[in-house]
Amino acid sequence: MEKFVEYLDDVTVRFAGDSGDGMQLIGTQFSDTSGFAGNEVNTFPDYPSEIRAPEGTLYGVSAFQVHFGKKNINTSGDFIDVLVVMNASSLKVNLGNLREKGIIIANKDGFDDKNLKLAGYSENPLEDKSLEKFKVYAIDMIGEIKAELADLNAPPKLVRKTKNIFALGITYWMFNRPIEPTVDWFNKKFKGQEDIILANVRVLNAGWNFARKNPDFTKQYKIERSKLGPGKYRNITGNQAVALGLVVASRKADLPLFLGSYPITPASEILHAISGYKKYGVRHLQAEDEIAGITSAIGAAFGGSLAATTTSGPGLSLKTEAIGLAVITELPLIIVNVQRGGPSTGLPTKPEQGDLLQSMFGRHGEAPLPVLAAASASDCFYMTLEAARIALKYMTPVILLTDGYIGQATEPWRIPDMSELPDLKPEFTTDPENYSPYKRDPQTLARMWAIPGVQGLEHRIGGLEKEDITGQVSQDPLNHQKMVELRKEKTDRISGDIPRAVVHGEKQGDLLVLSWGSTYGAARTAYDKLSSEGKNISFVHLKYIHPFPENLGEILYSFKRILIPEMNMGQLKMIIQAKFLVPVIGFNKVQGIPFKAAEIEEKIVELLNQKEK
């Protein structure tokens, strides 16, 4: 039968099923393959907090969303164009985000009486006409796979485990994706298990051929290649980018890298990735707890390493006293916090921006330090390098904030040449005649860094307050005030050593949208759309939270209204209002899911309409 071809600018596909159905696997394969095909990609893995939630339940649904296209893709997609579901619960959980006239590809086997009951359906939605406003393909995937693998006498378990691969094959045909990258992946993943490789390859092809030959699949969709700049690209997650950033920073600083961390969702992948870079001299410690992780890193910094520790919100709480130790010893340390929903255990697998105030103020005593925030998955690489630069130049711990969204999402990243990246080599003191532990650089106020064991450079640092210059333990009240003020001034001076904030749109006016961290994608997409329609708005994104860029106050005072979208209850809003004494409109979302661009767009239009009235 003749198939029609429709060209699209971008598409959002969501794969959903039980935790054990392999949705993260096929979502990753689809996104990687789309990147291989030359499209820009942004993804959002969404899975339960339970290690293995009860099968078939609403709260056990795992999903992976892929937004890909030929133009700038800054978000994982507001609404779903194609929803692939393995059971009734995955349909019910995700149906509300499916566009009208969107496509549903459903595994019929997951809509039996048991699954319908667990999902709370009294009737089968595939049969009761409740889905008439969508295009529905209800497919007996298990039956198709059994027929394909009949000559292999495949066990029932293998048949069921490959239904995700069959669904992947269907979507590959629908969007003209090449199957070769996934076949290569099978060969690497299951090396030495030829029967498993053969079964997966055949099922993948069976899914492709099912859609190609089935008369119900009348249309194939094509998305042209993105016009990316010259260079070599790869898809990268934020956590992978942080790990690579740490390794590259150590090379640019000519220092050994040490990572001391304790596994915690959603930051554990950084530790996993770092463990694969041992050939570059990387050393890592999977510590017994969060405190051991950070204190081992502080010890490595004392010994002259580029030191880092990674965690999420609850882990940052446990590291609090040790962060204060890094502040008072004035040692360079990179602290990466992949934020998740809280409080307490909260939503371990869901993103939130709930740790900004903790990062700024969550220490006893006066213990200021720089706080940075990455804007996207690929930006995690560059902000990790920037955290290393500031830590080494100013002899200070630095907190880098990402979150579960950009930490586990993927997007294209142009692999830079090492010559493009800044030189991070620190200066160690080697002159015993002029050495004192707290003697400072007059420009940066960074104290001298001496490697222990060098004759004539013996010194002591620690948690007790030190005397200015000499580093001797001191409880003199005036000295304590002086040291506190010096550490504050050192942090404040960083504002002159970071990029100035950039205003997109008019430099002054009525409404400024101010975003930070992972809200960048949705806020930027909303701004681009509305400004292209002639709406009078401006946009600034912040990557440097403490200290702020030195021109931020000037920018804020140039607008009558400021809108800050945040995945918290208004933490940046509170800081901005306190520092600059300007009124701020907060737009807050605390649902464990990122902002949609449409949500921010709607809020902006609401505010613009208020002015017109």
User: From CA 181, how far away is CA 160, in angstroms rounded?
Assistant: 23
Tokens read off for 102: 């969107």
457-468 pLDDT tens trace: 999 899 999 999
User: From CA 201, how far away is CA 204, in angstroms rounded?
Assistant: 5
Closest of 236, 237, 285, 238 to residue 263, by C-alpha: 285
Q: Is the confidence at residue 613, as pLDDT, over 80?
A: no
Looking at residue 1, its pLDDT comes to 63
151-206 pLDDT tens trace: 998 899 999 999 999 999 999 999 999 999 999 999 999 999 999 999 999 999 99
Domains of the chain: 4-222 (3.40.920.10), 234-420 (3.40.50.970), 432-497 (no CATH), 509-612 (3.40.50.920)
**Residues 212 and 173: beta-carbon distance below 8 Å:** yes
Tokens read off for 243: 């790990």
Percentage of residues in the chain having pLDDT higher than 90: 94
Looking at residue 374, its pLDDT comes to 98
Q: Is the confidence at residue 572, as pLDDT, over 80?
A: yes
Report, as an integer, the average pLDDT of 573-581: 98
Looking at residue 210, its pLDDT comes to 97
Closest of 537, 529, 540 to residue 509, by C-alpha: 537
Q: What is the DSSP letter of 85?
A: E
Report, as an integer, the average pLDDT of 79-104: 97
Q: Which residues of 363-393 are buried (b: 16+ CB within 10 A; e: fewer)?
A: beeebbbbbbbbbbbbbbbbbbbbbbbbbbb
DSSP state letters, 292-324:
HHHHHHHHHHHTT-EEEEEE-HHHHHHTHHHHH
Q: Is the confidence at residue 275, as pLDDT, over 60?
A: yes
542-565 pLDDT tens trace: 999 999 999 999 999 999 999 999
Q: Average model confidence (pLDDT) for the chain?
A: 96
234-261 pLDDT tens trace: 999 999 999 999 999 999 999 999 999 9
In order of 369, 381, 411, 415, 560, the CA distances from 245 in angstroms are: 20, 5, 16, 11, 39
Q: Is the confidence at residue 51, as pLDDT, over 80?
A: no
User: From CA 471, how far away is CA 469, in angstroms rounded?
Assistant: 6
How wide is the angle at C-alpha 489 spanned by C-alphas 487 and 494, nearest 5°?
105
Percentage of residues in the chain having pLDDT higher than 70: 100
User: From CA 502, how far away is CA 375, in angstroms rounded?
Assistant: 14
Looking at residue 54, its pLDDT comes to 86
User: From CA 385, how far away is CA 334, in angstroms rounded?
Assistant: 10
Q: 607 — phi, psi (to 5°)? A: -70, -40
User: From CA 310, how far away is CA 297, in angstroms rounded?
Assistant: 10
Tokens read off for 208: 């492709």
Q: Which helix (H) or strand (E) holds 283?
A: strand 283-286
**Residues 24 and 92: beta-carbon distance below 8 Å:** no
Residue 49's pLDDT band (cuts 50, 70, 90)? confident
Tokens read off for 171: 């979507």
Report, as an integer, the average pLDDT of 108-113: 97
Looking at residue 604, its pLDDT comes to 98
In order of 93, 217, 245, 270, the CA distances from 105 in angstroms are: 15, 11, 39, 34
**Residues 495 and 553: beta-carbon distance below 8 Å:** no
Q: Is the confidence at residue 393, as pLDDT, over 70?
A: yes
Residue 472's pLDDT band (cuts 50, 70, 90)? very high
User: From CA 516, how far away is CA 540, in angstroms rounded?
Assistant: 9
Q: Counting runs of H as helices and runs of E as strands, what totals does the chain give? A: 21, 21
The region that residue 492 occupies, defined by phi over 0 for left and psi between -120 and 50 for alpha, beta otherwise, is alpha
User: From CA 104, how far away is CA 110, in angstroms rounded?
Assistant: 14
Strand, coil or helix: what is 140?
A: coil
Q: What is the DSSP letter of 149?
A: T
More confident position, 613 or 533: 533
β-pairing verdict for 410-414 and 233-237: antiparallel
Q: Is the confidence at residue 320, as pLDDT, over 80?
A: yes
527-537 pLDDT tens trace: 999 999 999 99
Question: Own/partner pairs for 119-125, CB < 8 Å, 24+ apart?
Answer: 119/56, 119/58, 119/87, 119/88, 119/89, 119/91, 119/92, 120/58, 120/92, 121/88, 121/92, 124/88, 125/88, 125/91
**Residues 62 and 46: beta-carbon distance below 8 Å:** yes
In order of 103, 144, 335, 521, 560, the CA distances from 596 in angstroms are: 20, 37, 29, 9, 25
Residue 229's pLDDT band (cuts 50, 70, 90)? confident
User: From CA 591, how far away is CA 351, in angstroms rounded?
Assistant: 9
Q: Is the confidence at residue 3, as pLDDT, over 90?
A: no
Q: 132 CB contacts (<8 Å, ≥6 apart)?
A: none
User: From CA 389, how far away is CA 394, in angstroms rounded?
Assistant: 8
Tokens read off for 99: 């566009």
Looking at residue 612, its pLDDT comes to 61
Q: Is the confidence at residue 227, as pLDDT, over 90?
A: no
First-to-last C-alpha distance (Å) of the chain: 57
